[in-house]
Amino acid sequence: MGGISIWQLLIIAVIIILLFGTKKLRGVGSDLGSAVKGFKKAISDEDTAKDAKKDADFVAPQNLEKKEAETVEKQKQNDKEQA
């Protein structure tokens, strides 16, 4: 009750094939597959970029003071250039 039987699915599939043809359906299937593949690649590339950025932003504690001093010096130079 309320479910779609295998025969109903087969009838729907035959009607779709008759309406669109196998070449058109094959093209749509390959386009859909490449879109999903591109989406998955973009997601994995974004995750990789975030991980790389986290690693690049890490500063060892012994170098933290040096890094802060460099940042302060850069800010001072930028302030002088803007003035």
DSSP string, 42-79: HHHHHHHHHHHHHHHH---HHHHHHHHHHHHHHHHHHH
What token pair was written down for 43? 């997601």
Q: Is residue 73 assigned to a domain?
A: no
Q: Which residues of the chain have pLDDT under 50?
A: none
13 within some domain: yes
Place of tokens 């010096």: 73
- φ, ψ (nearest 5 deg) of residue 2: 80, -10
In a domain, 57, yes or no: no
For residue 6, what pLDDT is reported? 93
78 located within any domain = no
Number of domains in the chain: 1
Domain range for 38: 8-45
Q: Could you tell me the two tokens for 5?
A: 């039987």
Within-domain flag for 79: no
Residue 8 has a pLDDT of 94
Q: Is the pTM of this model over 0.75?
A: no
Is 17 within a domain?
Answer: yes
Residue 33 belongs to some domain of the structure: yes
In the numeric block, the tokens 């879109």 are attached to 35
In a domain, 14, yes or no: yes
